[in-house]
Chain A
Amino acid sequence: MMNYSAGPATDQPGTPHEPPDEPPAIRARALTVVRGPRTVLRDLDFSVPPGQITGLLGPSGCGKSTLMRSVVGTQAKVTGTLEVLGRPAGDAALRSRIGYVTQAPSVYDDLTVRQNLEYFAAVLDPGRAAAAHRRTNVTRAITSVALTSHTDALAGNLSGGQRSRVSLAVALLGNPELLVLDEPTVGLDPVLRRDLWNLFHSIADSGTTILVSSHVMDEAERCHRLLLMREGEILADGTPDALRSGDETVEDAFLRLVDEADARRQHGTATSDPAEEAAR
C-alpha cells in the first residue's frame, strides 16, 4: 500500500521517484505506434508509478488516446516494450484488472443506467453465485458517480455529462488495479469535476493506479505526476511542482517546454530532451 494522506486535489507530495520495492504499474521502453501512414507515438520511454494519479496532458491529437489504447491493449501496431501490471499490455489476464473509460461514452443508449451496469458487472463477475456481490458493486458505482436519481433512466436520454459518468461507473465496477480514463471530465460543470477528482483521489488512496488524460491544464494540479505530451512525444515527466519553475502555472510550464522543444528542433539538436532532465 502506498501511504498518501487522504484528501483531494491540492499539492499532493507525490514522490518524484517511485519507491524501490514497488515496480511501476506501467513501463514503456521505445514504445512506437503507427496508424496508417502516421507514426502517432514515437519511441516513448516512461513509467507510471503504482497507487498514484498520473495525468497525461497535451493538446488534442497529440497521441494521448492512442497511448491509453496501447496500455489497455486495444491498439494495433504497437512496437517496443509496454508492460502493464507486470505483464505485456493486452495480456488476457489483465482484462479484469484494468478499468478503461473511452473518450466517447461507451454505453448502451437503449438500456437504463442500472441495466448497463448490471450487464458489464455480469461480464466481469459472471455466475449466479456472484449476484449479490454484483448488486452491491452496481449500486456503489452508481453512487460514486452521483447518478442515484437517474438509475432507471435510459442512457440515451441523459445529458452528455451524465452519459460519460455512466461510462465511468462501468470502469469502477470491478475494483480495478489500474484505471485508464480518457478525458473523463470533459463537458462537466466545475462542481461535478471537483467531486470526480475527489473520487479519483480516494480511489488512488486505496492503492489503485490512475492514468487520466486531459487537455485542460488546470486539472494537472490535481495529479500526483504528469506526463506532458506533444506530437507523439513526451515533453516532460515529473510532479507538477517539479515541472513548474517559479510562479508558473502548469500551462505556462507546458508552453515554455513546447517553445524550448521547438527551439531545439530548429537548431537541429538530436532527439533526447534536456527539458525532461531539467524537469526532474
Chain B
Amino acid sequence: MTMHTAPDTPETRRPAAISWARTTATAARVLRQLRHDPRSIALMLLVPCVMLFLLRYVFDGDPRTFDNIGASLLGIFPLVTMFLVTSIATLRERTSGTLERLLAMPLGKADLIMGYALAFGTLAIIQSALATGLALWVLGLDVVGSPWLLLVVALLDALLGTALGLFVSAFAASEFQAVQFMPAVIFPQLLLCGLFTPRPNMQPVLEAISNVLPMSYAVDGMNEVLKHTDLTANFVRDAVVVAAVAALVLVLGAATLRRRTA
C-alpha cells in the first residue's frame, strides 16, 4: 500500500463471513440492553407461565383438552414472544442509526443476525424451561415422551420467531407498524396450526395452506412428543421443517440488511 497510514493501524484484511468473537460480543450486548429493562424480561418469562396456569383451570373439568392445547402452546409461546421482541429490537437498530454505524464497521451481517439469535435463543431456553417445567410438574400436563424433546421444539420455534421478526422488521417503518405485523404474520398461523381443531378436519384448501405454514409443524412436533414415548419419524420431520424454515427466513432477513441505503 502506498497510502498514508496512521502509525499503529493493524494490517487491513477482508473480514471473514462470520466471526465468533463479534457474534458473541453482539449477543452479550443485546443481553446487556435487556438487563437494563427488567420489566421486559419479567413479562417475557412470566406471561407464558401465567397463560398456562390460566388454561389449566379453564379446562378444569377436561384435562385431556389441556394436554392437547397446553402442549401446542409450549411451542407457540416462544415463537410469538421472540417474533415480537426481535422485530422491535431490530427495528430500533435500524431507526436509531446504530445499524448503519455497525454496517460501516467491520461487522458481518451474519455476526449481527447470529448474535441476535444467540441472545434471544438463550432467553427462549429459559422461558421454555420455565413454561415446560410448570406445565409438566405443577399443572400435570400428561406427556408420554421426553420433556427434552419438548424443549428442543420450543427452541426451534424460538429461532423461527427470531427469524420471522428480523425479516418483518425490514418492512416496518415504525414500531407501530412492527406490532401490527404480529396479527398479520402470526394469527393466521395460529388459526391454521391445529390448535383449535385437528388440521385434517379443516376445509381442504385451508388444510393445504396449513401444510406450508411453519407453525403447523411446530405444533405437530409437540403433539408427537405428547403421544409417543420414542423419537418418531414424524417428530424428526417436523423438527427439520421448522429448523429449515427458520434458516431460510434468516437468510432472507440477512438480505434485508443493506450496507448501502438510499
Contact = CB atoms under 8 A, between A and B. Distances in A.
A binds B: yes
Contacts of A123: 22, 25-26, 102, 105-107
B177 interface: no
Contact of B4 (A50, A98, A120): A50
The secondary structure that dominates the A interface is: loop
A81 B176 CA distance: 40
B258 interface: yes
Q: Which among A74, A76, A93, A105 has the greatest number of chain B C-beta atoms within 10 A?
A: A74
Q: How large is the interface on A (under 10, 10 to 19, 20 to 34, 35 or more residues)?
A: 35 or more
A141 to B, nearest CB: 14
Contact of A74 (B4, B37, B259): B259
A122 B36 contact: no
Interface in A85-114: 85-86, 90, 92-98, 100, 102, 104-111
B262 A107 contact: no
Interface stretch (A170-178, A183-191, A230-238): A170-178
B237 interface: no
A96 B10 contact: yes
Contacts of B15: 92, 95
B25 A119 contact: yes
A165 to B, nearest CB: 15
Contacts of B103: 74
A241 B21 CA distance: 49
A124 B33 contact: no
A267 interface: no
A27 B146 CA distance: 65
B32 interface: yes
A25 interface: yes
Contacts of B247: none
A55 B132 CA distance: 60
Given A120-B105, A207-B7, A73 B260 contact: yes
A58 interface: no
A16 to B, nearest CB: 18
B12 A97 contact: yes
A7 interface: no
Given A96-B12, A111-B29, A22 B4 contact: yes
Interface in A9-67: 22-23, 25, 35-36, 50-51
A111 to B, nearest CB: 6
A102 B14 contact: no
Contact of B6 (A94, A128, A175): A175
B29 A51 contact: no
Contacts of A206: 6-7
A127 interface: yes
Nearest to A72: B104
A90 B12 CA distance: 14
30 contacts: A25-B4, A50-B4, A51-B4, A72-B104, A74-B100, A74-B260, A74-B261, A75-B262, A76-B258, A90-B259, A92-B14, A92-B15, A93-B13, A95-B105, A96-B106, A106-B98, A106-B100, A106-B101, A107-B98, A111-B29, A119-B25, A122-B22, A122-B25, A123-B25, A123-B105, A124-B106, A126-B19, A170-B101, A175-B6, A175-B9
Nearest 10 pairs of A and B residues by beta carbon: A106-B97, A126-B21, A122-B25, A76-B260, A119-B29, A95-B106, A50-B4, A106-B101, A127-B21, A86-B3
